Amino acid sequence: MKKYRLSRDGKTLIVGKDSIVDRHLRFDGTVFAGILSSFWGNIEASEVKLAGRNFVGGSILCEKAIIGPKTEFNEIVAEGNVLIFPKCRGKFVKGDSVIIREGSVIGFVKANRIVIEGYAKIGRLEGGKIIVSKS
């Protein structure tokens, strides 16, 4: 079941909680998804914000991404910053600056600046500056 709506200014597409989007989603603006939403295709937007416990079967293609806790995704390709909250699982993340929080499991991360906060499992890192902090 799809539950979409536009914000009053028309710059944000809001996907309601418990929604299932079975096609590619392309929007010129911000995509915000509520908890427990599933995306079987790609998400293309200037900014992507996932609340948490989401599933993205395709790719997230954006300029900036904020991924909520316990989200599963295939890949994120961003031109700017990517923030991944705790206990997320993904195969590939690419961005200018990537911050990964505790408990996340990521296969491959490629960025100019990578910050890992707490214990996270990362298969392979490729970046200019890598900062690992223990919280």
DSSP states along the chain? ---EEE-TTSSEEEEPTT-EE-S-EE-SSEEEE-TT-EESS-EE-SEEEE-SS-EEEEEEEESEEEE-TT-EEEEEEESSEEEE-TT-EEEEEEEEEEEE-TT-EEEEEEEEEEEEESS-EEEEEEEEEEEEE--
Residue 117 lies in a domain: no
Domain count, the chain: 1
Establish if 88 belongs to a structural domain: yes
Residue 133 lies in a domain: no
Instruction: Extract the residue ranges of the chain whose pLDDT is less than 70.
Output: 1-2, 135
Q: Is 124 domain-assigned?
A: no
Residue 129's CB: how many other CB atoms inside 10 A? 10
Give the per-residue pLDDT at 3: 79
- Give the structural domain span for 20: 4-100
- What pLDDT is stored for residue 135 in this prediction? 63
pLDDT of residue 131: 92
pTM above 0.85, yes or no: yes
Separation of alpha carbons 110 and 54, rounded Å = 22
Residue 44 in domain = yes
Which amino acid does the sequence have at 93?
V
